[in-house]
Structure 1
Amino acid sequence: MTEDDAKAWIAERHSAPAVDRLAILVDHVVVETVRQNLIAPSTVEHIWDRHIVDSAQLLAHAPETGHWLDVGSGAGFPGIVLAVLGAHEITLVEPRRRRATFLSDLVQALDLGSRAHVQCARVETVSVPADIITARAVASLDNLFTWCTPSATQNTRWILPKGKSALEEVASAQKTWHGMFHVEHSITDPASMIVLASGVTRR
């Protein structure tokens, strides 16, 4: 998917104004990446494909309403993208203060204050009733399920982008956790996967 293809994908599914709003996010991330390592330099030229669409695709696996918890939000992927495109409320949890400050600045720049809330904390210390939990390149499934215990319930929907090791991670997590697990291929990278889980409880 080229950068133009990625913008067209967003426009077709969410509108041209959505592309304009996400362009503000892109500009902020590119500038801030010079100051702190928000995204890999090698992905800057492919940011719409590698980060914007990669984040936006998660909405297709979520209910239309509900409260998202985004773990380790970093540069705003996927959390800020989800807040721009979805009708959900979202809590972005980021333990690194500089990145949390950057996220708060993004929330203000994109006028997301009524729906997006930043917490500078480790997720295991956060208790937010979460209907949907996501985390992108943060930790193993087992660690995520453990860390998010204060916020997750049996009804929580987990939408977790993973790389090639997704199936192995699911198999490992199932040794400790009950639940319904399903894996979908990412539309931005056929080698990457998205783990979908529900009814997750410790054995």
Structure 2
Amino acid sequence: MITTEAQARSFSAERCDERGLERIERFIEQLRDENSRQNLVSSASLDHVWQRHIADSLQILDHVPRETGTWLDLGSGAGLPGLVVALARPEQSIILVESRKRRIEWLRANISQFGLTNCSVEGSRLENVETRQVSIITARAFAPLGKLMDLSTRFSTRSTLWVLPKGRSAAQELAEQPPYVRAMFHVEQSRTDPEAAILVGQGRPSRT
């Protein structure tokens, strides 16, 4: 379990390419600055930014194959986890979905500044995003699991990986789902919070 900022930074460094940590350090500086203009994350969480936001985002990579196709990150907000993953591994193709205007501008500004040519923003509600098949679906604090599945199943295939940080509610949310959803997922312990968990699954929900 990661319990200090130093541990979180070291954990993050191990999951970055050779310049990824440098990009993330610059991103953190900009996040602190932008947070004074719009509430991207709680101000208190910035005192533990490596543990609460960076390592918490990059732990998702431990559940994803290194060579994979397009990644869809739902409700990207401040860029967590999708933009952080793109900063760590810019070769990864990632689509960030965000509907709030100022956050869309924030995400696009970072993509441009860091030259993340494989990362893009769908500036729209998820319901209005054009259907496409993706390899990875992630969402951090986006929606309850049932609603999330209803909105995003159309992007999945039988091989799609779902990696959904759910905090303390993970097991309960999964238990409330129908059997065909419960069969897809298992619960993984978060590396950054002893009371949090991640739902990891594969496939396309089917009632049959």
**Range of TM-score over shorter length:** over 0.9
Identify which of 161, 184, 187 aligns with 2:188.
184
Could you say which residue in structure 2 is the equivalent of 1:76? 79
- Tell me by how many angstroms 1:68 deviates: 0.6
User: Quick one: structure 1 residues 182 and 95, their matched pair in 2 at CA, closer, same or farther if it must change by over 3 Å?
Assistant: same
Could you tell me whether the CA contact under 8 Å between 1:91 and 1:116 is conserved in 2? Answer: yes
Could you tell me whether the CA contact under 8 Å between 2:184 and 2:205 is conserved in 1? Answer: no
Give the number of equivalent residue pairs: 202
| Unmatched tracts of structure 2, length 5 or more | none
User: Quick one: structure 1 residues 149 and 58, their matched pair in 2 at CA, closer, same or farther if it must change by over 3 Å?
Assistant: same
RMSD: 1.6
* Counterparts of 1:54 and 1:107, CA distance in 2: 20
Could you tell me whether the CA contact under 8 Å between 2:174 and 2:182 is conserved in 1? Answer: no
Could you say which residue in structure 1 is the equivalent of 2:99? 95
1:184 partner amino acid: E
* Counterparts of 2:54 and 2:144, CA distance in 1: 22
What is the CA deviation profile of residues 16-46 of structure 1, one whole-angstrom value per residue up to 9, with x for unaligned ones?
6322110111111111111111001110111
Could you tell me whether the CA contact under 8 Å between 1:178 and 1:200 is conserved in 2? Answer: no
* Counterparts of 2:162 and 2:150, CA distance in 1: 13
1:154 partner amino acid: R
Bigger shift: 89-98 or 14-23?
A: 14-23
Structure 1 runs (4+) greater than 3 angstroms displaced:
175-179
Identify which of 186, 195, 198 aligns with 2:199.
195
1:141 partner amino acid: L
Could you say which residue in structure 2 is the equivalent of 1:59? 61
* Counterparts of 1:143 and 1:149, CA distance in 2: 10
State the percentage of identical aligned residues.
41
Could you tell me whether the CA contact under 8 Å between 1:180 and 1:197 is conserved in 2? Answer: yes
Could you say which residue in structure 2 is the equivalent of 1:110? 114
Could you tell me whether the CA contact under 8 Å between 1:68 and 1:91 is conserved in 2? Answer: yes
Identify which of 11, 18, 25 aligns with 1:23.
25
1:103-182 equivalences under 5 Å are 103-112=107-116, 114-126=117-129, 127-175=131-179, 177=181, 179-182=183-186
User: Quick one: structure 1 residues 77 and 175, their matched pair in 2 at CA, closer, same or farther if it must change by over 3 Å?
Assistant: same
* Counterparts of 2:205 and 2:189, CA distance in 1: 25
* Counterparts of 1:97 and 1:176, CA distance in 2: 36
Could you tell me whether the CA contact under 8 Å between 1:179 and 1:199 is conserved in 2? Answer: no
SS at match of 2:168: coil
1:117 partner amino acid: S
SS at match of 1:143: helix
Please, what TM-score do these two structures have when normalized by structure 1? 0.93
Please, what TM-score do these two structures have when normalized by structure 2? 0.91
- Tell me by how many angstroms 1:155 deviates: 2.2
* Counterparts of 2:100 and 2:194, CA distance in 1: 31
Could you tell me whether the CA contact under 8 Å between 1:129 and 1:152 is conserved in 2? Answer: yes
- Tell me by how many angstroms 1:13 deviates: 3.9
Identify which of 85, 99, 105 aligns with 2:88.
85
